Chain A
Amino acid sequence: MSQRIPVVEKILSANDRLAAENQSSLDAANVFAINMMASPGAGKTSLIEQTLKGLEGRLRIAMINGDIATSFDADRAQAAGATAIQINTGGDCHLDAVMVQSALSQLDLGILDLLVIENVGNLVCPADFKLGTHKSVLVASIPEGDDKPYKYPGMYRGVNAVVINKIDLLPYVPFRMDFFKKGIEVLNPGVTQFELSCRSGEGLAGWLAWLEGQVKEFKGIHAK
């Protein structure tokens, strides 16, 4: 006999559950975590280097770096003074909650204020896989073009902040900032935005102040 069984379950519910566990571990240790996503070459690692430098002595920071192969990015973070755990996804296009759980077990969360998770460079897949971070940040950049919000709506919808990097290139690249921002506005109304250049340092102060404020606010709420 044939029958229909109603399911109505989100396809990535298992990952969602594990992400919630990761977040509980972070909450218990009073560590604020961000998931940093971007296309390859947008400047995630440069922003992390600048962030480590800018917040040195103010926050205790570690990072988890996801890459398909190599540990170049984790090496750069370590050179900048942070504890860095490298996850090679072995071809997977995104980090997931399982990989992050395993990386968390390698960190001493008790001595940290902020954990930065650098996702695999990709504007599609990382948007669907929650990791258990408290906030997610998308790093966009001027040379990518101003049409990205329209092409990757899923990514632009799910983030808490958008960093627009490489604004020092605006004089050389056709980029309609109003068109770009109009797309973001519909997808993610009122999302926090930063225009900056990791190369020249312009605009970095605003980003650093926001991030430090987020960590302090979180620690205030979760203080033991």
Chain B
Amino acid sequence: MKILALFTIFVLISGVASTSLVNDAYAQNDPNILLRIATQADKQILNQLDSSFDDSIPPKIQKLYEKGHTSVESLKNSLPDNIEQAREDFLSAMKSFMQITKIISEPVAEVKLATSDISDRDLKSELNRLDKYFQSLKTVSEKHNTGIDFSEIEQLFTQAKQQIDLGETREATQTIQQLESSIHEIKKKIRENASNSSSDRIKKFASKHLIKIQKILDRASSVDSEIPEIEKANLLIQEIKTLISDDNISDAKKKFGELNKIVKIIEKSIHQ
């Protein structure tokens, strides 16, 4: 028994220690990336200052840039030995550059991206996103053996891509709209098809879950049989069983929601 106790303690300690070790190693993954990012940012900021101010950089920005640049230089010197200093230098440099970008962008109002707000729509991005969405649905459809034909949609994707490449914005926008409605229809079909398999899944789940709930109710009755919710819960269990046997899954799901709420109340009153 003593050996078992010692073994358990050892497992717990080594488990905690190993996770902390893993985190440390993960956090120190190639510190040279800090230098790569900071150097790239330094160059970009300098280009931005050149294009925005030429040689008449405002003193405030000048000071910030010098601070950031000095931190990048210090970062170069800190690597590879002084990782802690390198991290500090990186954050300091990026903070200074970030402050510069905020000042440079100040006169222009912030644009929060939203579907309707995008005036100059990036059709290529829209098409790529739509393609990703379509691929997810296609995989699901194959899993459900829906037998849906995707050739028309795939043709529309090719057409939209060609239109974008040729700069035919209006036509491409129309094709993308067509694609959106077609994909919406497909999702509807998949959902209808999936409802059959999901009802089997729910039936299996329900039979397992109801046994578990029945045990909780039995335990609650032995502790305090006067709890009013126990009777309600027992009635709901009977209702759910009947609904499932009648293949009325949607109503069974609703009753399940009610039952779960009541079981939570019963569990609370047992522990009080």
Chain B binds chain A: no
Q: Which B positions have Cβ atoms within 8 angstroms of A?
A: none
Q: Which A positions have Cβ atoms within 8 angstroms of B?
A: none
